[in-house]
């Protein structure tokens, strides 16, 4: 995600991949940390998400030193809903 501000950032850039790095998601029903309804191509899907252990703590700590960008090869609707 790109910041909408034009202020200079003095932090280094940290690029993180979404799928299989920060989270694992599947459309198959399973035990999960969170369920989300995602609309893709005008169809509604339930996505079952598991977060990498200690993800919240990692992101909270990393944001102190880095400008964080999350990358994904997935479609925009999927990424926007998850992020």
* Residue numbers annotated as active site: 17, 19
Cα angle: 17, vertex 14, 38; to 5 degrees = 35
Residue 22 is given by DSSP the state T
Q: How many CB atoms lie within 10 A of CB 36?
A: 14
């Amino acid at each position: 995600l790109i910041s909408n501000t034009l202020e200079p950032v003095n932090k280094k850039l940290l690029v993180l991949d979404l799928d299989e790095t920060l989270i694992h998601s599947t459309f198959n029903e399973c035990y999960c940390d969170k369920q989300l309804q995602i609309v893709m191509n005008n169809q509604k899907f339930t996505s079952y998400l598991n977060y990498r252990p200690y993800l919240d703590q990692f992101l909270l700590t990393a944001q102190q030193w880095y400008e964080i960008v999350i990358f994904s090869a997935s479609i925009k609707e999927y990424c926007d809903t998850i992020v």
